[in-house]
């Protein structure tokens, strides 16, 4: 049976990664978190004094991209994927608010997107891949057999993100979390390079009122239809 490519796009904190991981597990596919790649480059920029929530030194970052190695490795213990930046495990660091505040500034840079798109397309050449992000169905895999566009209300997304950060022991306010989500939505949908838009042939999944099990059942049905 041929394996298809599944592209999942959508807004921040819609549960894209959760659904993508679940689908990959159910179908025995490879899961690729494209957002983690951008977060890794954002972390690199922060650690090298090239970016903060207020600025990014675009030309300097571009000049150093050849020195940035981003790798995703399957973790057999957790069943998930771990992100490495220049050989260092940065999975926890890239999920912090300081990276969230910078990642949209970094992800609009054409050269950054080109570098990561090439890597992402290499990972999906043989099919059997579930990849989530913001331009997967429109730029990375425009010919994907299944495209899903995920959304949910801003308040619900903010609460989910807040709960996730609190569970990890992070001291944040829901006001700041919501403001960050709204800011990222604006930046993601209005950027010049590969903006977040719904592909014409994408199936919309609004999970505002769905449980994780309900959304998985729905998406798995769509995938099985395409595979079958």
For residue range 9-42, what is the model confidence (pLDDT) as tens digits?
Answer: 999 899 998 999 999 999 999 888 888 999 999 9
Neighbouring C-alpha atoms within 13 Å toward the C-beta of 107 = 27
Neighbouring C-alpha atoms within 13 Å toward the C-beta of 36 = 25
Q: Any residues with CB less than 8 A from the CB of 198 and at least 6 apart, and which?
A: 9, 149, 204
The answer on pLDDT for 1 being more than 70 is no
What is the reported pLDDT for 43?
Answer: 97
Tell me the whole-structure pTM to 2 decimals: 0.80
Residues 168 and 148: their CA atoms lie apart, in Å, by: 28
What digits encode the pLDDT tens for the residues 92-127? 999 998 999 999 899 989 999 999 999 889 878 778
Residues 209 and 192: their CA atoms lie apart, in Å, by: 32
The answer on pLDDT for 193 being more than 90 is no
What is the reported pLDDT for 140?
Answer: 93
Burial annotation 31-56 (CB, 10 A radius, 16+ → b, else e): bbbbbbbbbbbbbbbbeeebbebeeb
What is the reported pLDDT for 87?
Answer: 95
| Residue 170 or residue 57, greater confidence | 57
What is the reported pLDDT for 170?
Answer: 85
CATH topology of domain 5-223: Rossmann fold (3.40.50)
Determine the average pLDDT of the residues in 175-192. 91
């Amino acid at each position: 049976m041929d394996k298809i490519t599944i592209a999942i796009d959508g807004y921040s904190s819609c549960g894209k990664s959760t659904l993508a991981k679940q689908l990959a597990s159910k179908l025995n596919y490879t899961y690729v978190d494209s957002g983690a790649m951008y977060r890794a480059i954002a972390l690199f920029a922060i650690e090298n004094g090239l970016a903060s929530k207020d600025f990014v030194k675009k030309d300097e970052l571009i000049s150093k991209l050849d020195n940035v190695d981003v790798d995703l490795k399957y973790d057999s213990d957790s069943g998930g994927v771990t992100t490495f930046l220049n050989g260092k495990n940065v999975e926890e660091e890239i999920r912090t608010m300081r990276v969230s505040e910078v990642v949209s500034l970094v992800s609009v840079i054409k050269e950054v997107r080109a570098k990561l798109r090439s890597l992402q397309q290499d990972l999906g050449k043989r099919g059997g891949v579930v990849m989530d992000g913001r331009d997967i169905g429109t730029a990375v895999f425009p010919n994907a057999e299944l495209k899903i566009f995920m959304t949910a209300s801003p308040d619900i997304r903010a609460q989910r993100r807040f709960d996730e950060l609190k569970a990890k022991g992070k001291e944040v306010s829901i006001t700041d979390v919501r403001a960050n989500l709204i800011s990222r939505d604006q930046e993601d949908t209005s950027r010049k390079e590969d903006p977040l838009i719904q592909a014409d042939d994408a199936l919309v999944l609004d999970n505002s009122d769905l449980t994780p099990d309900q959304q998985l059942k729905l998406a798995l049905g769509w995938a099985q239809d395409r595979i079958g």
